[in-house]
Amino acid sequence: MKKIIAINSNTYHGFSLSEAVAGIKKAGFKYIELTATKGWTEHVFPTMSFRDLYRIKDQLEEAGLTPISLSGHTNLMDDQRLNDFIANIRLAAFFESKYIISSIGEAHLEDQAEASDEQVAQNIKNLLPYLKGYDLILGLENHGRHATGKHLKEIVELIDSKRVVVNYDTANAVFYGDVDLANDLKTAVDKIGHIHLKDKAGAQAEWNFPAIGKGELDFKEIFEILAANNNEAPLSIEIEFTEAGPADLEAVNQAVQDSYNYLKELGIDF
């Protein structure tokens, strides 16, 4: 069975969505995760005009890229931000995505509110009618203080809905969680419904997320764990480089191409 492997457009942070689409298509990918992260990468956003959104939709279709998921990170601990996330749900539905992704806290803004796991679960339960109405699945990403698959699994179990799964970020488990990746992945695997495939290089707390296969994570083992547990969740590659960022657009395109080539060499069918 062929895997669904996308490129997260956040890989092209600082560059236009048009540049991202061109690079992703050229590398050979057929899927894209659109990014609508407030204050960081706003390749698509609910405040865009209907004309601009349709222009993007047409552009993706012409490029042969399916927007399988939309990254709409919002602080789900903050009651004041839930309406923003509902807008992102509607945006994902407009692009006919199957998944909407969010960390529990802000991904790149400062959290304005904190909440217990139980309150987070209740906030997300309040979103379930929207997820059902637009036929979307919410992937909760391990990030920040909610850093591990184990922790996210506990929250997903509190919510207890097929509409809410773990979006497992392979590098975040190491960078934020400082855990053994294989063990944490095994712990959460039965609740993982979407994956951010991200490599990690350098020291544990160093911001260094290179092309897939250029870092230190064991992707052969990751795919073996998924296969052993019959997990066919779609995967979205995210490359965030170093704190200095990529040298230029060509460096990003090369990292995307290198990731494609590495996965093919690994024998992944996608």
pLDDT at position 37 is: 92
Predicted confidence at residue 102, as pLDDT, reads 96
pLDDT at 107: 52
Q: How far apart are the first and last CA of the chain?
A: 8
Q: Using CA atoms, how far apart are residues 116 and 122, in angstroms rounded to an integer? A: 10
pTM of the model: 0.95
pLDDT confidence of residue 109: 45
The domains located in the chain, with CATH, are 5-265 (3.20.20.150)
Residue by residue, DSSP assigns 230-256 as T----EEE---EETT--SSHHHHHHHH
Q: What is the pLDDT of residue 108?
A: 46
Ranges of residues in the chain whose predicted pLDDT is under 50? 108-109, 111-112
Packing angle, helices 50-63 and 82-94, rounded to 10: 50
Place of tokens 């992704």: 101
d(CA 41, CA 80): 21
